[in-house]
Amino acid sequence: MSYLIDGNNVMAQRVGWHRDKPAARRRLMDELAQFAQVKGLKLEVV
């Protein structure tokens, strides 16, 4: 199964994300990569 994820929408749901946007992007991508690996999924983040 594959998923299309709106990264900005997901990122903006976290408290304080706007204080360090580059770090928030990296954290989101790291967490999504781990999720995809554990679940055996294909993700596309836009």
Q: How far apart are CA 13 and CA 24, in angstroms?
A: 11
- Residue-wise pLDDT for 1-46, tens only, equals 889 999 999 999 999 999 999 999 999 999 999 999 999 999 999 9
Q: Rounded to whole angstroms, how far apart are CA atoms 46 and 43? A: 10
Count of domains in the chain? 1
Pairing state of beta strands 2-5 and 42-45?
parallel
Amino acid at 17: W
Contact 45, 8 (CB under 8 A): no
CA–CA distance, 8 with 11 (Å, rounded to integer)? 5
Position 37 scores a pLDDT of 97
Domain that holds residue 30: 2-45
